[in-house]
Chain A
Amino acid sequence: MAHDTHDKTPANLPKATYEVHAPRLPRIPFLAVSVGLITVVGSWIPLVLFARARQIPSSEPRVSFVQDMGTQPRYNAQQSSEVFEDGRAARLPIPGTVARGHLDEDDHYHHGFERVKGPDGKMVNKFFDTFPEQVKVTPALVKRGQDRFNIYCSVCHGLDGQGHGQVNEMAVEDKEAKWVQVASLPSDAVRVRPVGHIYNTINVGIRNMSGYGAQVPVADRWAIVAYVRSLQYGQNAPEDAVPAENRNTSQAAAK
């Protein structure tokens, strides 16, 4: 042989080989990888749901994990009841009964009018023209009246009482067929009413206005009457009732 490679091999090269068992781990099986990935990604899902629950209103009530007497077998205020046919847990007074302190026997204070014999012998309502003795007309009472008037009356009668509150304006704008223009309180027609009549209007209503007796307690009704009187006076006051420095001279000149 012309080319004997053997001859060229350096004598010190190893002649044997051996297998290397390197401590390298094999590939992680697909299954294990996917389980790991699913766990990591899956752990975000609740967080995303929580974030969503925080953003979007839900019609489902809160879940209580631990009840802890959070719902006790008792009725809270205004709770409904399955025991009674009308669904009210708080019972209404039995017809014909009167709760203590609600006899309302003082005609002047509680009703604003009394029944008297008219000229033709029939019983008629006579409205009181004065405030009852329980009511002291003071600036504080008128202030209270203003506060209550603005809550219960101004929506229809307007803050100035002239009958242009938001509800009236919207109803007129929408041409509501059955709506009746709200009365103007400083008008002559209402100014001549006795205080008892205005009280009674608040208590039980008049014609197309419903009563506010259920919403406004007796003392506050009289406070509102006092304020209505001050509105009426204020918008019809003679000029010399206004302190000179507060007079609107241009308006006075125009008159």
Chain B
Amino acid sequence: MSERITSSKRLMFPRWANYLLPAIVLGAVGGAFYLPVAFGIGASPKTMAVGYAPTQPVPYSHALHAGKLGIDCRYCHNTVEKAAFAALPATQTCMNCHTNLKPDSVRLQPVRDSWTTGKPVQWVKVHDLPDYVFFNHSAHVNHGVGCVECHGRIDRMEVVSQQKPLSMGWCLECHRNPGPHLRPRDVKVTDMNWTPGADFDGEALKKDYGIRDTAYMQSCYTCHR
């Protein structure tokens, strides 16, 4: 076999080259499984978007203000019931308390600067849907969807981080069957601790709030308009 014709000057594959074919087949099959899986996991919003916690200009803590002090979310985010967006608090809102409370704290310096110059504090946006998605806070908050469903335990966060993927699949998961995610009218939407009791009836709540049919809730136009 090969040794017999070693005298030839032509390029000869070494013997181990016989492994190449099985190696390539193995690699191709392996790669065909591996790459989509790796890309799927890697590019998934669960990897890319969940856990995004940018450093903010002021070390403001929800764990202290919303958790320990128990300030209602709407004290600061006061547009959630009326508007599509959730307002970030104006500097005035912080100064309601911080004029007389920790008036010399270095951590609050940017807030006081903003107070004197009139330039807003530049918070870094955490939850950010692509511009082609239409979202509306009031549509959810007024129909019994609590903040915690989409933002997680904000009242335990020192620094806000994104808890949910905010992907289309995630939105649709709830839009297909919102019943179990609703809370009765007498429970505050801002209550982070509420859990459904034994008498919880999602279907009745859907009727009570007049939630529209699944076809409407899944229609492309609901979220892309």
Contact = CB atoms under 8 A, between A and B. Distances in A.
B109 interface: no
B21 to A, nearest CB: 12
Given A72-B131, A214-B90, A215-B78, A62 B48 contact: yes
Contacts of A21: 1
Contacts of B69: 155, 166-167, 170
Contact of B120 (A69, A87, A171, A179): A87
Interface in A168-220: 170-171, 176, 178-180, 208, 210, 212, 214-216
Interface residues of A, number: 57
Contact of B103 (A36, A170, A178): A178
A26 B16 contact: yes
Interface in B52-91: 52-55, 68-72, 74-75, 78, 83-85, 87-88, 90
Contacts, number: 135
Contact of B16 (A29, A53, A60): A29
A68 B130 contact: yes
A57 B47 CA distance: 10
Contacts of B8: none
Nearest to B96: A210
Given A21-B1, A69-B131, A155-B70, A57 B19 contact: no
Contacts of A9: none
Contact of A25 (B18, B41, B90, B119): B18
B74 A151 contact: yes
B130 A32 contact: no
Interface in A25-74: 25-26, 28-29, 32, 36, 39, 43, 46-47, 50, 53-65, 68-72, 74
B34 interface: yes
B45 interface: yes
A162 interface: no
Contacts of B161: 57
Contacts of B142: none
Given A32-B23, A59-B52, A61-B52, 18 more contacts: A32-B19, A43-B38, A50-B38, A50-B41, A50-B42, A57-B161, A58-B53, A61-B128, A76-B131, A78-B87, A87-B120, A88-B120, A155-B75, A167-B69, A176-B102, A210-B95, A210-B96, A210-B99
